[in-house]
Amino acid sequence: MKPVNAVITKVVEETPTVRTFFFDTSFNPEPGQFVMAWIRGVDEIPMALSYNNAITVQKVGTATSALFKLGEGDSIGIRGPFGNGFQLKGDHILLIAGGVGAAPLSPLAEKASSEGLKVTTLLGAKTKEELVFRERFEAAGSVMVATDDGSFGIHGYVTQLIPEQENYDRIYCCGPEIMMKKVLDKVEPGKAQFSLHRYIKCGIGICGACCVDGLRVCKDGPVFGGEVLKNSEFGIYRRNECGERVRV
């Protein structure tokens, strides 16, 4: 698939390290799908779609730093959307978002709310100023917050907000892999879906850079059921940019 030229129409600073880039092109994704964003002359990287026409990006490396230098009127190449999305089921759902993991979950919350589902979100971040899309989740349902430094919500991790008794039909989670592994260990795997972020090169299942025990995150995912991940290398090993298997 050739990239389309996507012109930036607006940039919103969500937090000091996270920005949302809106484009003149709508990609019509299912919540949970991703695109490959090509920053010309730098790199192509996978990005979750946070709106039909936007990606939400955390500044963490060379490519994202280059993207942060762009503004309205600049353009990048976009391929996709790729992968599968979340499978929305039940009447009452629980969303668990850590950091920029809120990006793919926010459109899911809005879709679920529009279809009449009861939505509860557990939202976590390092600090109050690093919370992403809190207002969007609040508009879709009830929200509980945890921050590492205690500046908003409870003082602790988002996993501490998970109730002992699961009164939810389905659970959807996205965030740092170590956090998601802790969620997987606390909930009923068959009721939960997780959106994985791995090093992706091709985006179409050929190169194998994003594999988790033979499953291709870009093609078979990025959303996986907890029952698939429960006894896998998820939360233990990943592959780096050279394809080497390293500990998470």
Alpha-carbon distance of 222 to 86, in angstroms, equals 9
Q: What is the dotted CATH code of the domain comprising 4-82?
A: 2.40.30.10
Going residue by residue through the chain (248 aa), what tens digit of pLDDT does each one get?
Answer: 889 999 999 999 999 999 999 999 999 999 999 999 999 999 999 999 999 999 999 999 999 999 999 999 999 999 999 999 999 999 999 999 999 999 999 999 999 999 999 999 999 999 999 999 999 999 999 999 999 999 999 999 999 999 887 789 999 999 999 999 999 999 999 999 999 987 676 777 777 777 787 788 878 889 999 999 998 888 777 776 766 777 77
- The residues of the chain that CATH labels 3.40.50.80 are 92-247
pLDDT of residue 243: 67
pLDDT of residue 214: 78
Contacts of 45 (CB under 8 A, 6+ apart): 36, 37, 39, 63, 64, 200
- Which one is the CATH code of 92-247: 3.40.50.80, 1.10.606.20, 3.60.10.10, 3.30.1490.20? 3.40.50.80
- The residues of the chain that CATH labels 2.40.30.10 are 4-82
pLDDT of residue 196: 92
Contacts for 211-217 with beta carbons within 8 Å, 24 or more apart? 211/239, 217/83
pLDDT of residue 199: 65
Q: 144: which 2 tokens?
A: 């509980």
- Give the pLDDT confidence of 105-164 residue by residue, as tens digits: 999 999 999 999 999 999 999 999 999 999 999 999 999 999 999 999 999 999 999 988
* Alpha-carbon distances, residue 166 vs 2, 151, 171, 187, 227 (angstroms): 44, 27, 9, 8, 17
Beta bridge partners of 34: 48, 82
pLDDT of residue 231: 84
* Alpha-carbon distances, residue 134 vs 43, 52, 96, 121, 154 (angstroms): 30, 19, 12, 9, 15
pTM flag (> 0.85) = yes
